[in-house]
Amino acid sequence: MGHPAPQEGESEVIVSLADAAMHMYTAAIDALPFPEDKKFHKRAEVVLSGMRKLRSALTEAAGRSLSSPAVLVSLRDVRRCYDDLMARAAAAPGSSLGQQLYATRIQAKLSAHEVANGSGLRADLPDDLEAGETPNDEEAAKVTDIIASLGGVPGTEHQQHQEPEHHEPEESHVNGWDESFVADNAG
């Protein structure tokens, strides 16, 4: 059984609701802490979860026979914003394997289905990982291999190839300040 035909003006209502939701999501994204902050991933995931629901609803609306170009534009905008936030989350310290896989496959212009087929994963695993599922050890190894095969997580090149700097500890400095300066000005 198919979906009922949308009523006149339904697309306009859908677009208005999507615009309102995106206004809130954009504000939430702008308010996210720095990626190195412990709270970043938890807060980003709340936004990403909501955006997945909005993306799904707009995808369904765009598939209806009386959809409009405005619905397609809204869907495009949601997908772009979602992709940007997922890429930011994937490049942040402590990112999930799902975030890393998503950013890598989007950069490579591959669908979740293509990645699953090409790496021997179950068909729904890439989408499940994106939504926060934890893979088993075998799945994690395959996902790690496909990420490496596709060139790694975009935006993390500096993290992967950076040699740790070696500095001799300087006893005369306290948090970057000369110890005598700190002692002289402490009182």
Q: What is the DSSP string of the chain?
A: --PPPPPTTHHHHHHHHHHHHHHHHHHHHHTPPPTTSTTHHHHHHHHHHHHHHHHHHHHHHHTSTT--HHHHHHHHHHHHHHHHHHHHHHHSTT--HHHHHHHHHHHTT--HHHHHHHHT--TTHHHHHHTTPPP-HHHHHHHHHHHHHTTS-TT-HHHHSPPPP-----TTEETTEEHHHHHHT--
DSSP secondary structure letters along 13-44: HHHHHHHHHHHHHHHHHHTPPPTTSTTHHHHH
Distance CA 58, CA 84 (A): 18
Distances 29 to 25, 40, 46, 86 between C-alpha atoms, Å: 6, 10, 10, 11
pLDDT attached to residue 10: 83
Q: Which residue has the higher pLDDT, 22 or 176?
A: 22
Give the least confident one: 4-8, 83-87, 160-164: 160-164
pLDDT attached to residue 7: 52
What domains sit in the chain, N to C, each tagged with a CATH number?
Answer: 10-94 (no CATH), 96-155 (1.10.260)
Average per-residue pLDDT in the chain? 85
178 has a pLDDT exceeding 80: no
pLDDT attached to residue 100: 97
Mean pLDDT for the stretch of residues 1-8: 50
pLDDT tens for each residue of 73-92 = 999 999 999 999 999 999 99
User: How confident is residue 109, by pLDDT bands cut at 50, 70 and 90?
Assistant: very high
Distance CA 132, CA 96 (A): 8
Q: Which residue has the higher pLDDT, 164 or 148?
A: 148
User: Hunting for tokens 């709270």 — which residue is that?
Assistant: 39
